[in-house]
Structure 1
Amino acid sequence: MQDSRPSLKQRLSGRSVYLVGMMGSGKTSTGRPLAERLGYGFVDADAVVEQAAGCTIPEIFEKDGEPGFRALESQVLNAISQRHSLVVATGGGVVTQPENWGLLHSGIVVWLDVMQDALLKRLKADGTVRPLLMAPDPEAELETLLNQRRPLYAEADLTVVINDETPDTVADGILQLLPQVLQDPTQRRKD
């Protein structure tokens, strides 16, 4: 007997999945296997920002400051949101611009929530230059950013708390949780 329930991909109906979370939360490393499993394209929004600017994110910050970077990031998100069937690894601060939420909510927003200690460990091991952490006390700066952004990240459709799981395991977890936020059109609630 064939299962007549729509597949996860069918239920997504081409809506993109936007991964949000702090720098170092694993948006890019989780996004690639998630896109592969969904049969979706993958986009790293920060890479597109760098491509559009013709320079690195630290160079954008140096030249145009955070406001210039955020403006470009919003333009890039707007362009990405015109496409469908993507998993998008967003920049950590994309949630700080109210105009971005309309674009994000055109798809499914998944918050990769990593505890501060684990983030610090990941960021130290990573070696990527993070302009917002170029402060005398990067740990205090990270805590401030987390405190500012947590309520914004919490507006996501789905929250995935990550401890030390691999990106593949996190991607599988997202696949298991996505049906909770997708209403099956054949199962309309009768209120």
Structure 2
Amino acid sequence: MRATGKTEAMDMAALRDRLGRRSIVLVGLMGAGKTVIGRRVAAALDLPFIDSDHEIERVSRMTIPELFAAYGEEEFRALERRVIARLLRGGPQVLSTGGGAFMNPATRQAVARRGISVWLKADLETLMHRVSKRQNRPLLQAEDPRAVMQRLMDLRYPVYQQADVTIRSRDEPKEVIAGEVVAGLARFLEERKETGTAAS
């Protein structure tokens, strides 16, 4: 591993060059690992990492559950859309988005224009195991959280499939999943180069 460090650094530099001004945008349901994987991908590529939920909380001075409670999901989604659009103008970076963000057509269009989307796809058991450790999930404050999560999967997975790159998030070391994300990005950018579609 250490013997290939210099080669890996060169590969990462080449990947950043191909990325251009685009951001790497992680999409997927709560519990898919967008934040923890995003941080590792950002470190590997020497790029800034931003969590859109944290940025929303910073600009609003309220937590996500407080925003949902005070203004409802529709107003939260409007704020989320504006914040992500602003963040995308500051690329390149690794941007982790909330589970519902990619459902918005305007956000998908902005991501397509200024980023490369990566769907971290996880199964129901993996998601429920992970989200059960945290109590700050407004959409899961229900009598049957598992049923809610299944409904979210049924609704959102067909839209997440529009992402540029899909990586299966599963019970593996985070470094393994992050490495697969980087490899998936490299393949995607190589394919775009071959088809003559340059990253802007």
TM-score between both structures, scaled by the size of structure 1? 0.91
Q: 1:121 aligns with which of 114, 129, 132?
A: 129
Tell me the SS of whatever aligns to 1:110: strand
> Does the C-alpha gap of structure 1 residues 115 and 9 become closer, same or farther in structure 2, counting only changes over 3 Å?
same
Gaps of 5+ in 1: none
4+ residue stretches of structure 1 with deviation over 4 A?
Answer: 3-6, 184-189
Structure 2 residue 40 is matched with structure 1 residue 21: no
Spell out, residue by residue over 1:22-69, the C-alpha distance to the aligned partner (whole angstroms, 9 max, x if none). 001100000111011111110000000111111100000000000011
Matched AA of 1:145: L
Matched AA of 1:53: S
Partner of 1:41: 48
Please show how residues 57-136 of structure 1 align to structure 2 within 5 Å. Answer: 57-105=64-112, 106-125=114-133, 127-136=134-143
Partner of 2:165: 158
Q: Distance in 2 between matches of 1:128 and 1:114?
A: 20
Contact 1:11–1:184, Cα closer than 8 Å, also in 2:
no
Q: Distance in 2 between matches of 1:185 and 1:145?
A: 31
Tell me the SS of whatever aligns to 2:37: helix
Per residue, is there more helix in 1 or in 2?
2
TM-score between both structures, scaled by the size of structure 2? 0.87
Tell me the SS of whatever aligns to 2:184: helix
> Does the C-alpha gap of structure 1 residues 183 and 133 become closer, same or farther in structure 2, counting only changes over 3 Å?
same
Identity %: 36
Count of residues paired in the alignment: 186
Q: Give the alignment's Cα RMSD to 1 decimal.
A: 2.0
Partner of 2:187: 180
Q: Distance in 2 between matches of 1:120 and 1:187?
A: 40
Partner of 2:4: none
Partner of 1:148: 155
Structure 2 residue 145 is matched with structure 1 residue 138: yes
